[in-house]
Amino acid sequence: MKVVISATLRSFFNRESETEIEGNTITEILNGLTTKYPDSKKGLYDEHGEIRRFIRIFADDDDRTDKKRHSESLSGVKEVLILPLVAGGSPEGSIISDERRKEVTLDDKEVEQFNKHLLLREISVKGQKRIKAAKVVIVGAGALGSPVIQYLAAAGVGTIKVIDHDFVAVSNLQNQVIHSSRDIKRPKAASAKDTIRGINRNIEVIAENQMLTAENAISLLEGFDLVIDCTDNYKARYLINDACILLGIPLVFASIYQYEGMVGIFGYEDGPCLRCVFPEPPAPGLVPTCAEGGTISPLGGIIGSIQANEALKLIIGIGEHLSGKLLKVDTLGLNSHILKIKKDCNCPLCGDKPTITDVIDFDYEEFCGLNTGEDEIPVEGFTPEELAHKIESGEHLTIVDVREPHERAIIKFPDALVIPIGQLARRQKELNPQIDTVFICKEGKRSILAINTLREAGYKGAMYNLKGGMDAMKDIIFSNEGGGL
């Protein structure tokens, strides 16, 4: 019989990680061990000749520590594990069934690699097998996805799918620690896959270099045990939530902004979903729905680590989790709050009479005021090249910058008038209706909102949008300014 020895006990077994012992019962195995390794008596038995209480003995994943079971046959057992500080017992509420768990085995290398999990009585062999049996989807390989992906890989999750359509940029390296400078211009999903393989080559890694949409959400998530939302936009969050609820897959949700983060679990054991708590995205201009807010570097690591912890608890079936709760963390003020949330019986997705029966492509840009309706005047715009030509030719223009202060600190637009969107209506007298006004933002979306806001306020002057925003403009205009960063 193969006997596997935990690393913390190997000093009593000539530093060996495993050995072969003749025997068909635990009693025979223990006698064989103490005969082959006389020093093992000190590690295994106390002064009364009883197995030390910090040691557990497993026949495969069956706890045979109880002396009453030492005479039971080991027929069909593949290995005996000698582990310290490990207790058996079946976890309550695991999302991985006993049948799935029993199909999994841990080899010698895995016993050593995951020894710190095996030492925890709440995890032990059964819990680690559940982790290995788990199939998890992580949507987003950015600031949140970086710690989630790495910690779940390090924990031994058997199958990990990473979905991300973006490519690694220099600006990502500040807080997306799964990527390095060597990965710049590579797909984030491919970079994440390489990192996972570097941690544990036994993991089945599926890298999806594509955007999650209403059309593919079901097919990309179906068949997995758990989904972790590490995205950075409302559209993706609602698509993921809707697909998970329709598929019956628990969702670990998180969001970060500047110094604050939030974590919750949706769709678990008849708990609430995202739409129960936030039926629709925030109103335009209230929160950075249409703008990228800055974040301090460690924030994604802090919140993402909590996500990974919640995911592992669901997989193992241990501890108190965040279903029906939102954990809000403020790293600047150094405080946190757990907010209780309830399922909405009128929720259109998971309520008593659901009206959403499929993943729908809700037009979030229209909700944010970025699209024009049938009765609205289309928003005209200039390309970066067109605007640069107008400026260089001396054409008289008013440039209005509606970006956030932290965005302007990174790159400025020369001689631009700074007016936040919320102040446009009352400050419209600062604009000359006889002069064309060009609105700029980061990506060319908030500037459309600014134009529509002024139109509603009654401004009659000609207004134009910078297409693609400063992201598209900076290399053109600031290359002639000696660098504007």
Contacts of 162 (CB under 8 A, 6+ apart): 138, 141, 145, 149, 188, 189, 192, 193, 196, 205, 206, 207, 208
Q: Are 107 and 18 in contact (CB under 8 A)?
A: no
Q: Are 398 and 251 in contact (CB under 8 A)?
A: no
The number of angstroms, rounded, from the C-alpha of 254 to the middle of its chain's C-alpha atoms is: 7
Pairwise CA distance, residues 81 & 62, whole Å: 10
- How many H helices and E strands in the chain? 17, 18
- The residue annotated as part of the active site, out of 230, 347, 350, 441, is 441
Pairwise CA distance, residues 72 & 26, whole Å: 7
Q: Are 413 and 374 in contact (CB under 8 A)?
A: no
Pairwise CA distance, residues 411 & 415, whole Å: 13
Nearest one of 480, 482, 450 to 464, comparing CA atoms = 450
Q: Are 125 and 58 in contact (CB under 8 A)?
A: yes
Nearest one of 443, 477, 480, 447 to 464, comparing CA atoms = 447
Query: Active site includes 350?
Result: no
Query: Active site includes 290?
Result: yes
- The residue annotated as part of the active site, out of 244, 290, 347, 368, is 290
Instruction: Point out which residues pair with 161 in neighbouring strands.
Output: 137, 206
Q: Are 164 and 141 in contact (CB under 8 A)?
A: yes
Pairwise CA distance, residues 36 & 29, whole Å: 10
DSSP strand E in 50-196: where?
55-59, 62-63, 79-84, 135-139, 159-163
Please classify residue 314 by burial: count the beta carbons closer than 10 Å to its beta carbon, then call 0-12 exposed, 13-18 middle and 19+ buried. buried
Q: Which residues are catalytic?
A: 290, 441
